[in-house]
Amino acid sequence: MATYMYGGLAARRLSVFARLSAGAAARRAVTPPSRIPSSLPRAASPFTGGTVMSASITRPSGPARLRRAARESVSGLPRQFWWLWTSTLINRLGAFVATFLALYLTVERGYSASYAGLVGALYGLGGVISSVGAGVLTDRLGRRPTMLAAQLSTAASVALLGFMEHPVAIAAVACVVGMATTASRPAVQAMMADIVAPEDRVRAFSLNYWAINLGFAVSSTAAGLIAEHGYSALFLGESALVLVCALVVFWKLPESRPAAGTPAGPDDVAATPAPVSMLTVLRDGRFMTVVGLNLLLALIFQQAYVSMPVSMGRDGFSSADFGLVIAVNGVLVVLLQIPVTRFIEHRSPALLLVGSALLAGYGFGLTALAGSVAVYALAVTVWTLGEIINSPTQMGLVVRLSPLHGRGRYQGMYALSWSVASLAAPLVGGTVIDQYGADALWAGCAAVGTVAALGYGLLLRSLPGRTGAGEVASSTSGEVASSGAGEVAYSGVGEVASSRAGEVAPSATGKTGKGADSTVGKAAGGTARSAYSPVPHDVP
């Protein structure tokens, strides 16, 4: 018996030795000594006392890393997205009127800050009226018809506004401009969600927002200089560029609305087969909380286009000065949006929203100390950082919470928060400046930013800090949504990113606890992301 055990043990040892020898021979065959570069440094072997080759890894240079990051940021997106991106850029290159409307009314036409605030409020009221209606039309008629109707209406009403003389006529046409301008937003965002894969949406929203601010940086600087020679060119120029934008949509963008009965993908948290009405949206407490908190931030951000130009005008600054200061916002977004998005895309959305609220509030609060163009620019820099963080995070979360066949209505409700802010911010800003001075307004912005940050902090408590191996962000029950491929949704910034690098081998139960023939969370490809992720997911 002992001889048998010893013989078996020896046989197993010989078998192991044979396998090790075969592996070493295979490695030598793959990399023969004659092909090893002699220039590689040699190090002492801890086993034989001789030397072994050691190769150093050459890291790509800084410019090479930047080029690779740029390629990764723009690669893999569909052609339709780039035409939509182009139309957005053209539209924003001509966004003259909304930015300079308050300055036009107070400096060029001589109206009071209160009247400028009233006109701005009516502009916002138009947006309130059209936001919900445009969201419904986006779902019923389609994305493309809604966009075309909104853009043609914008071109006509903006041109008309430039020829209005009577205060009542100016206010009425401004309301129409607000309706037309806002009507395209739900359709644009819904189309983007339709045509871009879930794992690319955060990146797509960031690139779209980058285009918005690239156009804004150019248009605000150019408009400030053009306004020195007359405002009529601003109204006509915006009208012409909006028409060009409509032509791009007409010729290059087909309808993207999902057909009735199209099953929702695994990224649709709020996917439901039942028809989606506005009442459904209003009953979605989690989504309405996000909308309410965004309203607070929107009230702050709107002051940049209503109260800040009035405040600068009262301090003796020119329209060109304001154009340069507000252009800092666009330039910073153009330079920082993409790298910042790459940095934040796998971090907790709630924490990012808390930070963005504080940056926005206290950035505008810093305006109270501004007495020169440089200090105004510094204040703009602070709140712009908050804007850069907030925009892709917020938009990804909104799309994530929107059901497939109700995206238009959900986007309309989200746009409504901005429209309500456009309505309320001018009234509040103009009244506070007239009654208490600009410094009181900027202090109020800091207070509102703090309240919004606290609200996002409470929202953080309702979201999971980390997702374990048995949980998936795309399902409140922790089960994988049926996708037919066993892919696990992987969360980016406010977004499910069904990453190609995040596929988990399908299991018999459909859970994410174990992949087929794997340990918990082991990815099918070995190098892919596992079901357990150190990245906090955005929704329960």
Mind listing the pLDDT tens digit of every residue in the chain (540 residues)? 444 443 444 444 444 444 444 444 444 444 444 444 444 444 444 444 444 444 445 566 667 766 676 676 677 789 999 999 999 999 888 888 887 888 889 888 888 888 988 898 888 788 888 888 888 888 888 889 999 999 999 999 999 999 998 999 999 999 999 999 989 888 898 898 888 887 787 788 888 888 887 887 788 778 878 887 788 888 999 999 999 999 999 999 988 877 665 555 544 444 444 567 778 888 888 889 889 999 999 999 999 988 999 889 888 898 889 988 988 987 888 888 888 887 877 777 778 889 999 999 999 999 999 989 999 999 999 999 999 999 888 887 787 877 877 778 888 888 888 888 877 888 899 889 989 999 999 999 999 999 999 988 887 676 544 333 233 233 333 333 333 333 333 333 333 333 333 333 333 333 333 333 333 333 333 333 322 222 233 333
d(CA 400, CA 269): 6
Domain 77-257+271-461 = CATH 1.20.1250.20: yes
- 432: helix, coil or strand? helix
For the record, the structure tokens of 181 come out as: 């301008």
Contacts of residue 510, defined as CB under 8 A and 6 or more positions apart, other chains included, come to 479, 480, 482
- Residue 347 phi/psi, 5° resolution? -110, 165
pLDDT recorded at residue 51: 47
* CB-CB neighbours of 80 under 10 Å: 17
pLDDT recorded at residue 260: 61
pLDDT recorded at residue 155: 95
Buried b / exposed e over 343-367, threshold 16 CB at 10 Å, is ebbbbbbbbbbbbbbbbbbbbbbbb
Cα distances from 164 to residues 109, 157, 230, 467, in angstroms, run 11, 11, 15, 57
d(CA 83, CA 45): 59
For the record, the structure tokens of 236 come out as: 């006509």
d(CA 186, CA 408): 6
- 495: helix, coil or strand? strand
User: In the chain, where does the domain assigned CATH 1.20.1250.20 lie?
Assistant: 77-257+271-461
pLDDT recorded at residue 249: 94
Residue 192 identity = M
d(CA 112, CA 306): 13
Counting DSSP H helices and E strands in the chain, the numbers are 17, 4
Contacts of residue 407, defined as CB under 8 A and 6 or more positions apart, other chains included, come to 138, 139, 189, 190, 193, 194, 399
Instruction: Calculate Rg over the CA atoms of the chain.
Output: 28
> What pTM value is reported for the model?
0.60
Alpha carbon distance, N-terminus to C-terminus of the chain: 61
Burial of residue 71 (CB within 10 Å: 0-12, 13-18, 19+) is exposed
Cα distances from 193 to residues 130, 181, 186, in angstroms, run 21, 20, 11
For the record, the structure tokens of 133 come out as: 């209606």
Burial of residue 447 (CB within 10 Å: 0-12, 13-18, 19+) is exposed
Dihedral of CA 206/211/212/213: which sign?
positive
Contact yes or no for 323/223 (Cβ under 8 A): yes
Contact yes or no for 490/497 (Cβ under 8 A): yes
d(CA 361, CA 468): 35
- 161: helix, coil or strand? helix
The helix-helix angle for 79-93 and 201-227 (nearest 10°) equals 20
CA angle 372, 373, 376 (to 5 degrees): 90
Burial of residue 210 (CB within 10 Å: 0-12, 13-18, 19+) is buried
Could you tell me whether strands 42-44 and 491-492 are parallel, antiparallel, or unpaired per DSSP bridges? unpaired
Dihedral of CA 157/320/116/293: which sign?
positive
Give the closest residue to 138 by CA, choosing from 148, 123, 129, 125.
148
- 52: helix, coil or strand? strand
